[in-house]
Amino acid sequence: MITDKLMKRETQGFNSLSFDEIGDDHLFTGLETPMKPNAFDISDEVKKEKIAHLFSQIMDVMGLDLTDDSLQGTPKRVAKMYIDEIFSGLNPANKPKVALFNNKYQYNQMLVEKNITFYSNCEHHFVPIIGKAHVAYISSGKVIGLSKINRIVQYYAKRPQVQERLTNQITEELKAILETENVAVIIDAKHLCVSSRGVKDDTSSTVTSYFGGVFNTPEKIAELQNTLNY
């Protein structure tokens, strides 16, 4: 069924698929997060004002009493959370600045940063994705600080996401910074759009991976998996 829809997308264009045809199917359009060309023509403060106004309308339609002490500040809190926190990765100004250092230790084996906890949001339902990322690379002569790996993961996670895209965005960023194809990224995450709604399966998780360069061999994949299981 999903194959038929993807074939229709290829032959007629993605926009020809109706909402009912797409349903809960896991589709995404490419490596880049879909953004309007004028996404940053207005300031973050103006965006917060607009979001707060619109979210108050949503709450009103739902029948909530915005004069209640507990609710009256909610629209502004949501707007601040969207712009400054959970979707801050949409703004290139928040991209982590990464400095390269010479590999003075001459360490030429894989370096693994595992169990990087991240929180993202599904772009289809705007509900949380909670997971762990495992990142490995082999130096081509340069290294980066360990915390920068975490920051890169967090930057790309803090936007409406699809896990496949998140995996590839982290990978491409590290490959560009480190100037090497020898990068591996594995993400294991729980999607609340699966566990808290729809099929309501609270036990499943989703695993995506990328093995580049020398990592794309059975030996290195096994070595990496053994390291992650250690």
Residues acting as catalytic residues: 122-125, 163, 191, 193
The DSSP code for 84 is I
> Contact 102/141 with Cβ under 8 angstroms?
yes
26 marked ligand binding residue? no
53 marked ligand binding residue? no
> Contact 164/129 with Cβ under 8 angstroms?
no
Distance CA 12, CA 4 (A): 12
Where would I find the H helices in 25-158? Answer: 44-61, 74-80, 146-157
Residue type, 101: F
> Contact 214/165 with Cβ under 8 angstroms?
no
> Contact 76/45 with Cβ under 8 angstroms?
no
What are the beta bridge partners of residue 98?
none
Distance CA 130, CA 195 (A): 11
122 marked ligand binding residue? yes
Binding residues: 122, 125, 193
Binding residues for Zn(2+): 122, 125, 193
